[in-house]
Structure 1
Amino acid sequence: MSVEALLTRDYDANPGAVHERLRATYGPVAPVDVLGVHVWFVLGYEEVLHVLQNKGGAWSKNVDRWREYAEARVPADWPLLPVFQVNNSAFSEGATQHKLRAAWTKALAPFQDHSHPQAQLLKQAMGQYADDLIGVMSEGGTTGWADLAAQYARPLPLMVANRLLGFAAARGEEVVMDIWRMIDAGPDAAAAFQRLHKAMTELAAAKRQRPGDDLTSYMIEADPDLTLDELARELLMLPGLLDFTASLICNVVVEVVSNPAVRESLSAGEIDETVNRVALLNPPMANLTFRFPKTDVKLGNHTIAAGDPVMLSVAAAHADPRFAGGLDQHTIRSTRAHLAWGAGPHACLGHRLATQIATIAVQRLFSQYSRLKLALPADQLPWRASPFMRALRSLPVQYELAESRVPAPRGVDAPVTPPPSADGGAVPRSRSPLWSFLRGLRRSR
């Protein structure tokens, strides 16, 4: 069967139009080419949910189930191959997956249970990080221009990751910068990944000797039998979750400033509803990593052979007329039956944490700026080319600080309040590589 390339300029600019063309041609499942590999692209809500729920155990995410990969027919330099070779719980199955997810559930609980002291401290830290980032963006004056993606939405979740993992402050900032390099998949991404794996392994070893009140220590406590390599690979999942969160923050900001009804609801305190609405209408994780059927299966109008790669499109599923036709697109309150957080055995365990980060980020932003306006029309914003994420490359805005938030005059290089860190120390921000980088972004405008 002839197939068309999925990842084109048309797809980057308007994936919804591509989804509808494929749906009209093939139905809920379409054959496509993803960077030279033939893939079954699932567009139907019922079909995506069926595969995610995997009630009969017919589907696997383990790359060894991929027939062409097992037969060494996937090129060694295929760009996405390292994603599938990470070998952590995101791609495991059976007893191994249950064991690792149980450790995640127990380790995340103190940070996602709002009654727990660790969750309360983390919430305070999130607000402080948001305020500090806004302070750096606004150092040039009470009105100006900023890139909310690079200067706010992306660094904020990574700062939270630094705190969660329990890095000492100086090492944590190095890790934040390497996470950026890895996620952006630039020329130094491979070296950044190696440094990150080494850093995570060293962190795991240190926490075995001296545990703290952090996610790494709680993972070790939940499953003491985890090897250092296993633990490092699990911890490397955090950047993916938090890059998702950064994209969610950006998408929420665009929705708020572009839609007066949503802006009004934000004033009424409906931030959680706005975040949920955006997760439905513009999910950051647009497409999920591959699944592989263990036996031949019927899906949509096609029979999928055992071992064929299947890519599930959350964004296309949300737009499926069989699902979207029953939704009121104009209401602020929207269904929780969306798939932005997945479903079934691989559903996201950190969705409450990600939602909280996004909610605090948006609330702090709109409480401290009296005016935020897109510097480009919404349909001209630049999107990152990605097979999985629907994420803005930049989010340029014009801002005006609220009168009550106008800062006292101070030197441009004066450090703002250092954030709390797991070891109780802090890097003076006049010498911090992260904050120097962020100030450099401001000066370059």
Structure 2
Amino acid sequence: MLTRDYDSSPSLVHERLRDTYGPVAPVDLLGVPVWLVLGYSEVREILGDQGGIWSKRLANWRDRAEGRIPPEWPLSPAFEVNSSAFQDGAPLRRVRDAWTSALAPFQDHTHVQSQALERAAKKYADDLITVLSEGSGTVGWADLSAQFARPLPLMVINRLLGFESAQGDDVFMDIWRMLDAGPDAAEATHRLLSSVVDLAVTKMRNPGQDFPSYMLAANPDFTVDEMARELIMLPVLTGDVTASLICNTIVEILVNPHVRASLNDGIIEETINRVALVNPPMANLTFRFPTVDVKMGRFVIAAGDPVMVSVAGAHADPAFGAAIDPHAIRSTRAHLAWGVGPHRCQGQRLATRITAIAVSRLFERFSRIRLALPADQLPWRPSPFLRALRSLPVQFELSQAHTPSGNAGSRPISQGRSQAPAPQHQEPPRSALWRFLQGLRRQ
């Protein structure tokens, strides 16, 4: 599951596995045997399980409970945070109800908090575009993953969490270090956990108009540890997934003329839905464990075996994908990119809105963008779960409406969007974060 072939073309690996084994295939994941479920109906059955057969609780992982998973297994840290992502039944519903309540003000466009967040997201997008293009004249080069798609959702999430500005910049940098899993990732993770614990304590004492405060209002019984475990999921999961969705959407627009037409027609959310179908950012989901032996496909999966459902594989299942028109502007909502059932993604509307703002602002500010590499040579991050680009190198040309010599009356290529704020209205750069982003431009 972590090979060069899989990184470059997972669809070919899925096709080979399907041809050999059917809808369920035995695979190796860094030395741990795992069942990979590729069939659309089988994936939907597992995700939609309400009867407790397909558990997310790590206590049901037989080999882990019996000490057969090596402590140095590289993916162990992803399973060590005992958050709602690894709960079932009543404990899961208790936490998810609070998530639903806390996200609602930011996902309901009629709510003042949602409107303020959207204005902030547009400003963050404009600020990032300004930084990556400054000093380039009208034509330049950029890595839209590192310089735009990855920082933007983290900026929005920092605002959701309610960090003070300076502390939020430090948290942003630690999230980045942790997600990159570099040599300083362990120290960054430790600092990040300490930061969210402090944040939980602060919001318990002095609630505000932010996500942690709304969670506590929905469930005042949360302990500090419970809150910290849930809060760290927001940047780790929502941030990286949204960044991947932004990149995948940009690539799809640049390589597919039918998708570019939908962008120019002003139906950006249809474009995003199509990308979620053809290239879902969460290609595979974390393990489920059957509580009883289950016959699936050609195999009997023993109780306690780790089972990884493949969203990307399910979308490529001929039983599902054969009926999809690849040229249609409007695509099916029956895809599984956001999950189904008790663990369905609760931040779908937020992720979609951030992506829509990011893509719209980018194609308004730039009159021309082209890939600096052939699409089939773009580098992907090695991950068994996420389908995310390691970098997205492009050459761009600034729109005349957004260059000093441009005609102020020029019409941007995307309809119905305001122009970028004038420099005198921008906040002063935040030292550590913006020096880091400016450093990326120089590199």
TM-score interval for Structure 1 and Structure 2 normalised by the shorter chain: over 0.9
Aligned partners of 2:437 and 2:74: how far apart in 1?
A: 29
Letter of the 2:211 counterpart:
L
Distance 1:312 1:57 in 2: 16
- Aligned: 1:228 with 2:227: no
Do the aligned partners of residues 19 and 417 (structure 1) sit closer, same or farther apart at CA in structure 2, a change above 3 Å counting? farther
The CA deviation at 1:208 is: 1.4
| Counterpart pick for 1:54 among 44, 49, 52 | 49
In structure 1, the residue matched to 2:72 is 77
Cα pair 2:379 2:389 within 8 Å, conserved: yes
Is residue 361 of structure 1 aligned with residue 354 of structure 2? no
The Cα of 1:387 is off from its aligned counterpart by: 0.7
Deviations 1:397-436 (A, max 9, x none): 0000110111489xxxxx98656xxxxxxxx41x611110
User: Structure 2 vs 1, CA of residues 238 and 417 (structure 1 numbering), >3 Å: closer, same or farther?
Assistant: farther
What secondary structure is seen at the aligned counterpart in 2 of 1:41?
strand
Give the 3 Å change call, closer, same or farther, for CA 380–405 of structure 1 in structure 2. Answer: same
Q: Please name the residue that 2:144 is paired with.
A: 148
Aligned partners of 2:245 and 2:355 also within 8 Å: yes
Report the Cα distance in structure 1 between the residues aligned to 2:405 and 2:437, rounded to whole angstroms: 20
1:40-439 map, 5 Å: 40-140=35-135, 141-239=137-235, 240-407=237-404, 428-429=428-429, 432-439=431-438
Contact 1:280 1:318 in 2 (8 A): yes
SS in 1 for 2:359: helix
Counterpart CA distance in 1 for 2:204 and 2:52 is: 35
Query: Are 2:10 and 1:15 aligned?
Result: yes
CA distance in 1, matches of 2:265, 2:22: 41
In structure 1, the gaps of 5 or more residues are 1-5, 410-414, 420-427
Residues of 1 paired with 2:296 and 2:188: CA distance?
Answer: 39
How far does residue 81 in structure 1 lie from its aligned partner after superposition? 1.1
Instruction: Give percent identity, aligned residues only.
Output: 65
CA distance in 2 between partners of 1:192 and 1:47 (Å):
38
- 2:435 maps to 1:440: no
Q: Which amino acid aligns with 2:162?
A: G
Distance 1:179 1:332 in 2: 36
Across the two proteins, how many residue pairs are aligned to each other? Answer: 425
Alpha-carbon RMSD: 1.3
Question: What is the CA-CA distance between 1:189 and the residue it aligns to?
Answer: 1.5
Aligned partners of 1:190, 1:47: CA distance in 2, in Å? 37
CA contact (8 A) 1:63 1:85 kept: no
Distance, in Å, in 2 between the alignment partners of 1:437 and 1:403 is: 28
Structure 1 residue 138: Cα displacement: 1.2
Among residues 19, 29, 53, which one is paired with 1:34 in the alignment?
Answer: 29
User: CA–CA distance in 2 between the matches of 1:188 and 1:42?
Assistant: 34
Displacement over 3 Å in runs of 4+: 415-419
Could you tell me how far apart the structure 1 residues matched to 2:404 and 2:249 are? 26
The one-letter code sitting in structure 2 at the alignment partner of 1:78 is W
Q: Deviations over 1:130-167 (max 9, x none)?
A: 01101111111221000000000000000001100000
CA distance in 1, matches of 2:148, 2:171: 17
Change (3 A) 1:205 1:416: farther
Q: CA deviation at 1:335?
A: 0.3
Task: Tell whether the 8 Å contact from 1:157 to 1:357 is kept in structure 2 after alignment.
Answer: yes
Output the TM-score relative to the length of structure 2: 0.94
Q: Distance in 2 between matches of 1:204 and 1:371?
A: 44
Letter in 2 for 1:316: G
| Matching residue of 2:417 | none
Q: TM-score, normalised by structure 1?
A: 0.94
Deviation at 1:185, TM superposition (A): 1.3
Give the CA deviation at 1:187. Answer: 1.7
User: Matched residues in 2 for 1:201 and 1:57: separation?
Assistant: 32
Give the SS at the match of 1:257: helix
Secondary structure at 2:85 match in 1: coil
- Deviations along 1:311-345, one digit per CA (max 9) or x if unpaired, are 00000100000000111111111000101001100
Q: CA deviation at 1:182?
A: 1.0
Contact preservation (8 Å) 2:245, 2:275: yes
Over 3 Å counting, the alpha-carbon distance change for 1:416 and 1:397 in structure 2 is: farther
- Could you tell me whether the CA contact under 8 Å between 2:145 and 2:391 is conserved in 1? yes
Cα deviations across residues 288-324 of structure 1 (Å, max 9, x unaligned)? 0000000101111111000000000000100000000
Q: CA deviation at 1:55?
A: 3.0
TM-superposed CA distance for 1:56, in Å, is 2.1
Partner Cα distance (2:97, 2:269) in 1 = 27
CA contact (8 A) 1:132 1:417 kept: no
